[in-house]
Amino acid sequence: MASFVLVVHGGAGALNRQTITAKLNCQYMAKLKQSLETGSSILTDGGSSLDAVEQAIKVFEDSHLFNAGKGAVLNKEGRAELDASIMDGRTHQAGAVASVTTIRNPISAARLVMNKTPHVMLVADGAEEIAREAGLEIVGLSYFQTEKHWLHLEKAGTVGAVALDRYGDLAAGTSTGGIQGKLKGRVGDSPIIGAGTYADNETCAVSATGQGEYFIRQVVAYDIVARMRYGGCALKEAAWEAIHGTLTKSGGKGGVIAVDKDGNVAMPFNSLGMFRGYVKNDQQPYTYIFEE
Catalytic site positions: 158
Q: CA dist 95 to 71, 117, 190, 219, 277, Å?
A: 22, 9, 11, 17, 24
Using CA atoms, how far apart are residues 287 and 206, in angstroms rounded to an integer? 18
Enumerate the β-bridge partners of residue 287. 277
Strand partners, 279: 6
> For residues 125 and 72, what is the distance between their CA atoms, to the nearest angstrom?
19
Q: How far apart are CA 198 and CA 227, in angstroms?
A: 13
Closest C-alpha to 50, from 115, 130, 120, 117? 115
Other CB atoms closer than 10 Å to residue 210's CB: what's the count?
Answer: 28
Q: 209 with 195: CB under 8 angstroms?
A: no
